[in-house]
Amino acid sequence: MKRHYFILIFFLFTGCAALNPWIENVNIIPIPYEIQAGQEMAKTIIKETPLSTDSALNAKVAAIGNRLVATLPKKDFNYAFYAVQNKEPNAFTTPGGKIYVQTGLIQFSGNENELAGVLAHELGHAYNRHPSKAMTRTYGVEALTNLILNKNQSQLKNIALSVAKTGILTKYSRNEEREADEFAFNILQKAGYPTTGLVSFLEKIEKLQTTAGGPTWLATHPPTPERIARLKALEANQKPGSITTAQGSRL
């Protein structure tokens, strides 16, 4: 833990300017604090956004999520999956491995394979700790230091309130979205799901974008046709069984 505090002190004295060239991969939040932040955010999200009362739907989401989690080579978090009562087709991940999928997306996905593809993508964000990296970029070192040291819990609640209302934590980078797609491709294979489910879901999203503009949260994602092409290339060329980590190594 001393190493984490050294890193915090380093960032505070060098300032944000030193982060700019490589800030995308900076994560100053130790895992225990990331878990705590997710737990605190969950309290606000549950208060502001009703979870689905459909027990069968909740069981389905949890079963798919846990099947994916069972194949992970390491588990830094106690991953949890929730069905949220919201007509918008969206899913989001908070720090510490809590993954929320809105009922509008469940209906939009149409089948288990497509839903598994979405959950695998969100699991990729959680596994590679994209939420805490995004919070570092969005809220800055000083604010996050206060959160880590439990000096500004009101800001954490405000962040959670924003998530509850919009279903969006922070803007992931396009590289992080690509990384989550590749992670999803690999984890789906290991869990025994066809990777075509994620592709077909994205093809439906692409069609929605051409007819109605698509959900606003897709603006920060790589172009949908590009994502589809990358996944199809993986289907054609990549052998199953490896998972992409945040550092790009294979497990």
Residues identified as active-site: 122
In the structure encoding, which two tokens stand for residue 57, read together?
């739907």
- Report the C-alpha gap between 135 and 28 in whole angstroms: 10
Distance CA 164, CA 58 (A): 18
Q: Give CA–CA dist 96/104, Å, rounded.
A: 24
Radius of gyration of the chain (CA): 18
Determine the 3-state secondary structure of 48 from DSSP. helix
User: Which residue, 114, 110, 104, is CA-closest to 83?
Assistant: 104
CB 51 within 8 A of CB 82: yes
Sign of the dihedral through C-alpha 236, 238, 239, 245: negative
